[in-house]
Amino acid sequence: MNSVSDPKDNRLLAALPDAEWRRWLPHLEPAEMALGQVIYESGGTLSHAYFPTTAIVSMLYVMKDGDSAEIAVIGSEGLVGISLFMGGGSTPSRAVVQNAGHSFRIKAEMLKAEFERSLPVAHLLLRYTQALISQMTQTAACNRHHTLDQQLCRWLLLSLDRHSGNELVMTRKLISNMLGATDEKMTQGALTLQEAGLIRYLDGRITVIDRAGVEKRTCECYQVVKNEYDRLLPQQQAS
């Protein structure tokens, strides 16, 4: 990560009306996100909201025994910290960086003030929240009804949609935690996709070499989630 990206590489920031963008810009701070970094813990109070540009963040629900499962993935289409403007202030989930990269952050007080001050901002953030809730709902159904093989394909496609390029770099343990599977099951699932010629998996790197094949192999959950984001959010604008 040698250079800071453009804030408008984030889909929500790019969609801000001109007046709001001018107010926001002085308050946006570059924030690097390292692989495995915990942005917030379950029950914690958030000091900032984060708008990823090249980083990807996984929202995990953590059980009392320490086991976890991914409930949503957030990248350049969204923000980390919806509880700030939804009135909760904290959340029962944990946010962990699944793919290192750039982001921008804004103080919690500023985001809450803008949500209350600007109707366009409120509408934009609420539409994003609806899309995120749809992803969480679909993920819960997918985890219950579809195979690990299909879940892995869904996860790969959603991650690639939020990332430039076809390679994801992360630890095997992190992937296992996100999918709520053991290391052995996750590895077997990845090897199955590799043997089918869909991905290359080596030393924490997953390279998708046949995206069309992955799309054919996944369940309907990926397309449902993608359609909701495309329906509810403005398309990415050129910066």
Q: Report the alpha-carbon distance of residue 217 to residue 223 in Å, rounded.
A: 12
- CATH 2.60.120.10 assigned to domain 7-142? The reply is yes
What 3-state DSSP class applies to 166?
coil
Which of these CATH numbers, 3.40.50.2300, 3.40.630.30, 3.30.420.40, 1.10.10.10, describes 146-226? 1.10.10.10
Q: Residue 66 burial (CB < 10 Å; 0-12/13-18/19+)?
A: exposed
How large is the average pLDDT for residues 120-125? 96
Q: Report the alpha-carbon distance of residue 121 to residue 65 in Å, rounded.
A: 39
| Confidence check: pLDDT of 21 > 70 | yes
How large is the average pLDDT for residues 58-72? 80
Q: Report the alpha-carbon distance of residue 45 to residue 37 in Å, rounded.
A: 17
| Confidence check: pLDDT of 1 > 50 | no
| Confidence check: pLDDT of 17 > 60 | yes
More confident residue, 79 or 65: 79
Under the banding of pLDDT at 50, 70 and 90, the label for residue 239 is very low
- The token duo for 46 is 């958030």
> Locate tokens 């998708």: which residue?
208
Q: Report the alpha-carbon distance of residue 154 to residue 176 in Å, rounded.
A: 14
| Confidence check: pLDDT of 211 > 90 | yes
| Confidence check: pLDDT of 105 > 50 | yes
pTM listed for this prediction: 0.88
> Domain ranges in the chain?
7-142, 146-226
Under the banding of pLDDT at 50, 70 and 90, the label for residue 162 is confident
pLDDT in tens, 124-148: 999 999 999 999 999 888 888 888 8
Q: What secondary structure does DSSP assign to 192-232, as a single string?
A: HHHHTTSEEEETTEEEES-HHHHHHHS-THHHHHHHHHHHH
Q: What is the edge-to-edge ordering of all strands in the sheet holding 93-99?
A: 38-40, 93-99, 56-62, 68-74
Under the banding of pLDDT at 50, 70 and 90, the label for residue 236 is low
